[in-house]
Amino acid sequence: MKVEYVNDYNFYLYLNKDYLIGLDLDNKESIENYFKAMFLKLKKNHHMDIYGYYNIKVYANKNYGLIVDVFKLGNDYFKMPNNKVDMKIAIDKDNVFIYELDDFFFTKKYEENIKNVYYKNQKYYIELNKNVDETFYLYLMEHSNIIFDDDAYEIITTSFKL
Protein backbone atom coordinates (compact mmCIF):
# COMPACT_ATOMS: atom_id res chain seq x y z
CA MET A 1 0.00 0.00 0.00
CA LYS A 2 1.24 3.45 -0.92
CA VAL A 3 -0.26 6.73 0.25
CA GLU A 4 0.25 9.84 -1.88
CA TYR A 5 -0.83 13.14 -0.37
CA VAL A 6 -2.21 15.76 -2.76
CA ASN A 7 -3.17 18.34 -0.11
CA ASP A 8 -4.83 18.53 3.33
CA TYR A 9 -8.13 17.29 1.92
CA ASN A 10 -7.09 14.81 -0.75
CA PHE A 11 -4.91 11.73 -0.97
CA TYR A 12 -4.51 8.63 -3.14
CA LEU A 13 -4.19 5.06 -1.94
CA TYR A 14 -2.42 2.64 -4.24
CA LEU A 15 -3.46 -0.90 -3.32
CA ASN A 16 -2.02 -3.74 -5.33
CA LYS A 17 -4.17 -6.81 -5.82
CA ASP A 18 -2.61 -8.59 -2.82
CA TYR A 19 -4.42 -6.10 -0.54
CA LEU A 20 -7.79 -6.98 -2.03
CA ILE A 21 -8.26 -10.54 -0.82
CA GLY A 22 -11.84 -10.86 0.36
CA LEU A 23 -13.04 -7.62 -1.23
CA ASP A 24 -16.08 -8.00 -3.49
CA LEU A 25 -16.63 -4.84 -5.54
CA ASP A 26 -20.19 -5.96 -6.29
CA ASN A 27 -21.15 -6.21 -2.61
CA LYS A 28 -21.91 -2.93 -0.81
CA GLU A 29 -21.36 -4.40 2.66
CA SER A 30 -18.00 -5.87 1.64
CA ILE A 31 -16.89 -2.47 0.30
CA GLU A 32 -18.01 -0.59 3.42
CA ASN A 33 -16.28 -3.05 5.75
CA TYR A 34 -13.11 -2.95 3.66
CA PHE A 35 -12.87 0.85 3.78
CA LYS A 36 -13.66 0.98 7.50
CA ALA A 37 -10.74 -1.37 8.11
CA MET A 38 -8.54 0.59 5.68
CA PHE A 39 -9.28 3.89 7.46
CA LEU A 40 -8.43 2.30 10.81
CA LYS A 41 -5.08 1.15 9.35
CA LEU A 42 -4.40 4.66 8.08
CA LYS A 43 -5.17 6.12 11.50
CA LYS A 44 -2.92 3.62 13.26
CA ASN A 45 -0.01 3.18 10.85
CA HIS A 46 0.12 6.60 9.15
CA HIS A 47 -1.15 8.69 12.09
CA MET A 48 -3.81 10.30 9.93
CA ASP A 49 -6.78 12.13 11.43
CA ILE A 50 -9.65 10.55 9.56
CA TYR A 51 -13.10 11.81 10.47
CA GLY A 52 -15.95 13.57 8.71
CA TYR A 53 -17.45 13.15 5.26
CA TYR A 54 -15.45 11.71 2.36
CA ASN A 55 -16.00 11.27 -1.35
CA ILE A 56 -14.15 8.19 -2.50
CA LYS A 57 -13.54 7.25 -6.14
CA VAL A 58 -12.19 3.75 -6.72
CA TYR A 59 -10.37 2.89 -9.95
CA ALA A 60 -10.09 -0.89 -10.35
CA ASN A 61 -7.75 -2.73 -12.69
CA LYS A 62 -7.36 -6.52 -12.92
CA ASN A 63 -3.57 -6.43 -13.23
CA TYR A 64 -2.79 -3.81 -10.61
CA GLY A 65 -5.57 -3.69 -8.04
CA LEU A 66 -7.08 -0.39 -6.92
CA ILE A 67 -6.22 3.26 -6.91
CA VAL A 68 -8.44 5.08 -4.46
CA ASP A 69 -8.97 8.84 -4.64
CA VAL A 70 -10.02 10.00 -1.16
CA PHE A 71 -11.36 13.55 -0.87
CA LYS A 72 -12.46 14.98 2.47
CA LEU A 73 -15.31 17.46 2.31
CA GLY A 74 -14.38 20.69 4.14
CA ASN A 75 -14.81 20.82 7.91
CA ASP A 76 -16.49 24.22 7.75
CA TYR A 77 -19.59 22.89 6.03
CA PHE A 78 -19.93 19.32 7.25
CA LYS A 79 -19.53 18.33 10.88
CA MET A 80 -19.59 14.70 11.91
CA PRO A 81 -20.29 13.90 15.58
CA ASN A 82 -17.74 12.02 17.71
CA ASN A 83 -15.03 11.93 15.03
CA LYS A 84 -16.95 9.41 12.95
CA VAL A 85 -16.58 8.78 9.24
CA ASP A 86 -19.21 8.82 6.52
CA MET A 87 -18.34 8.15 2.90
CA LYS A 88 -19.81 8.21 -0.56
CA ILE A 89 -18.09 5.62 -2.74
CA ALA A 90 -18.08 5.46 -6.55
CA ILE A 91 -16.40 2.52 -8.28
CA ASP A 92 -15.03 2.28 -11.81
CA LYS A 93 -14.59 -1.49 -12.08
CA ASP A 94 -12.65 -1.78 -15.31
CA ASN A 95 -10.35 1.21 -15.54
CA VAL A 96 -7.47 1.33 -18.00
CA PHE A 97 -4.10 1.83 -16.34
CA ILE A 98 -1.11 2.66 -18.48
CA TYR A 99 2.48 2.84 -17.34
CA GLU A 100 4.88 5.67 -18.16
CA LEU A 101 8.45 4.65 -19.03
CA ASP A 102 11.59 6.38 -20.24
CA ASP A 103 13.16 3.30 -21.80
CA PHE A 104 11.88 1.99 -25.15
CA PHE A 105 14.03 -1.15 -24.85
CA PHE A 106 11.98 -2.19 -21.84
CA THR A 107 9.00 -2.51 -24.17
CA LYS A 108 10.95 -4.78 -26.52
CA LYS A 109 12.34 -6.96 -23.74
CA TYR A 110 8.88 -7.69 -22.29
CA GLU A 111 6.70 -7.40 -25.40
CA GLU A 112 4.78 -10.62 -24.63
CA ASN A 113 3.23 -8.82 -21.61
CA ILE A 114 2.43 -5.62 -23.49
CA LYS A 115 -0.75 -5.00 -25.47
CA ASN A 116 0.03 -1.50 -26.83
CA VAL A 117 2.89 1.00 -26.73
CA TYR A 118 2.24 4.74 -27.04
CA TYR A 119 4.69 7.60 -27.47
CA LYS A 120 4.09 11.20 -26.43
CA ASN A 121 6.30 14.05 -25.19
CA GLN A 122 9.44 11.91 -25.21
CA LYS A 123 7.86 9.27 -22.95
CA TYR A 124 6.67 5.74 -23.65
CA TYR A 125 3.39 4.46 -22.26
CA ILE A 126 2.42 0.82 -22.18
CA GLU A 127 -0.93 -0.88 -21.87
CA LEU A 128 -0.70 -4.42 -20.53
CA ASN A 129 -2.24 -7.68 -21.67
CA LYS A 130 -4.93 -9.14 -19.44
CA ASN A 131 -2.60 -11.70 -17.85
CA VAL A 132 0.96 -10.71 -17.10
CA ASP A 133 3.88 -12.45 -15.47
CA GLU A 134 4.16 -11.54 -11.76
CA THR A 135 7.94 -11.02 -11.92
CA PHE A 136 7.53 -8.66 -14.85
CA TYR A 137 4.81 -6.76 -13.05
CA LEU A 138 6.89 -6.21 -9.92
CA TYR A 139 9.76 -4.96 -12.08
CA LEU A 140 7.38 -2.66 -13.94
CA MET A 141 6.09 -1.17 -10.68
CA GLU A 142 9.64 -0.17 -9.74
CA HIS A 143 10.44 1.46 -13.09
CA SER A 144 7.25 3.24 -14.13
CA ASN A 145 4.55 5.67 -13.09
CA ILE A 146 0.91 4.60 -13.21
CA ILE A 147 -1.41 6.77 -15.29
CA PHE A 148 -5.17 6.25 -14.90
CA ASP A 149 -8.62 7.75 -15.41
CA ASP A 150 -8.88 10.73 -17.78
CA ASP A 151 -5.10 11.11 -18.06
CA ALA A 152 -4.77 7.56 -19.41
CA TYR A 153 -7.57 8.02 -21.95
CA GLU A 154 -6.05 11.34 -23.05
CA ILE A 155 -2.68 9.70 -23.70
CA ILE A 156 -4.25 6.76 -25.53
CA THR A 157 -6.28 9.02 -27.82
CA THR A 158 -3.68 11.73 -28.51
CA SER A 159 -0.37 9.88 -28.64
CA PHE A 160 1.44 8.05 -31.39
CA LYS A 161 0.78 4.29 -31.22
CA LEU A 162 3.91 2.25 -31.98
Q: Please report, for the chain, the start and end positions of each structural domain, with discontinuous segments joined by +.
A: 2-92, 98-161
Residues 6+ apart with CB under 8 A from 75: 52
Backbone angles phi, psi at 69, to 5 degrees: -95, 115
DSSP per-residue letters across 102-113: S-HHHHHHTGGG
- Identify the residue with better confidence: 30 or 158: 158
User: What's the pLDDT band for 120 if we cut at 50, 70, 90?
Assistant: very high
Into which CATH architecture does domain 98-161 fall?
2-Layer Sandwich (3.30)
DSSP tag of 73: P
pLDDT tens-digit profile of 64-112? 888 999 998 866 555 555 667 677 888 888 788 899 988 888 777 778 8
| Mean pLDDT of the residues in the chain | 82
How do strand 98-101 and strand 85-92 relate by DSSP bridges?
unpaired
Q: What is the pTM of this model?
A: 0.78
CA distance 77 to 112: 52
